[in-house]
Every structure is written in structure tokens, then in C-alpha cells.
Amino acid sequence: MMLRIVEFDDLTRQQRADAARVLADAFADRPGSFDGKFKEEVDTFFVDDDRDAIAALEDDVLVGWVGCIETYDHAWELHPLAVDPSVQRGGIGTALVRALEARLRAEGVLTLYLGTDDEFGGTNLYGVDLFPDVAGKIATLAETSGHPFAFYQKLGYEVVGLIPDANGFGKPDIMMAKRLGGV
């Protein structure tokens, strides 16, 4: 099978439905993600001018996608990254993120950032009171059970902050960013 990266706007009706299914499946272990409105989330990338996305196809079947949101003039948010669980850890997420980075770099975006929640105990900061000295806790951050922040670190993203209790006590959002272009 050959992986192709395509524009979201070029997806067929079936591939758009698959994008919602992949999003639901990829976040199935995270109750409350997108409030169960996976189709609605996908639809925002077709109607909101501040959002853009690309998809990965294998034999015309959508196996993953990544979106971005133009939040600042020179810093955009990566949101979301979803890969079908049956093909995760096969390089699809990496290919999608790299393709998105290349596109945004060409558009003059300097920084790509993201938030990756720990609602399930994937890091040593889960269940911890991060106050006081939130910034000091960043240095102690470590993966404990497959948290996505380790994936992003391998792609060159670094932790730039923590939002304590973003998802309830002891459930932080880990903010990460990567410089894409020169200054």
C-alpha cells in the first residue's frame, strides 16, 4: 500500500465520513473528547476559513488526518491529529505532521503549537497538584503509559507550558511548540 497525503477539500463524501470515524476511534479512550461530536468537528475544517487539514490515504481509504487552526499571525495550532488505531505506530502520524509543518513553513508560519491533555494517567503529572511552581514541574515531566507528548518530542516539539487542572483536578493540558521557520 502506498500512503498519499491529500487536501481535506479533495476528500470524497465517504472519506469525510471516515475522517469522523477515525477521529472517534483515535479518541475512544478519552471520554468527553469533542463531546462526541466527531462529524461536527470534521465539518469545521470545510467551513471555517481559519482551519485547514490534510489527510492520509492508503488505497483511497482515509487512515489519518491532521488539522491546524490559524490562531495568531505567525503561530498556528496543530489540532487535531487522528490516526486509525489499527495502523498507529506505522509512521502515518509522523508523515501527516511533517507534511503539515512543510505547508505551514511555506506559508510563513514561524511556530506550530499544540495542547495534549493528560486525562488518563499517561504522565507522572497526572493526579498531581501542580501549584505552586507550575513552571518547575515541566522539568520533571515524564511519560508513564503511552502519552502523546513523547511522540511530539520525537518530532522536535518541546514542552512550553502546563495548564493545571484543565480537565479537572490533576488533569493538565501539556502545551508544546516547535519553531518552523527562521526569524
Q: How many angstroms from the chain centroid is the CA of residue 53?
A: 11
Q: Pick from 52, 46, 48, 58: which is nearest to 16 by CA?
A: 46
pLDDT at residue 33, rounded to an integer: 79
Cβ atoms of 94 and 155 within 8 Å: the answer is yes
Q: In this predicted structure, what is the pLDDT of residue 85?
A: 97
Consecutive 10-residue averages of pLDDT for the chain (183 residues):
93 97 92 85 97 97 98 97 97 98 97 96 96 96 94 97 96 98 78
Nearest CA to 38 out of 6, 16, 8 is that of 16
| Helix (H/G/I), strand (E/B), else coil: 36 | helix
Residue 34: the pLDDT is 85
Check: pTM over 0.85? Answer yes or no: yes
Say what the pLDDT of residue 1 is.
66
Give the pLDDT confidence score for residue 182 in this predicted structure. Answer: 75
d(CA 42, CA 37): 9
Specify the pLDDT at position 146: 87
CA–CA–CA angle 90, 57, 181 (5° rounding): 75
List of domains in the chain: 1-109 (3.40.630.30), 113-183 (3.40.630.30)
Q: How far is CA 96 from the centre of its chain?
A: 10
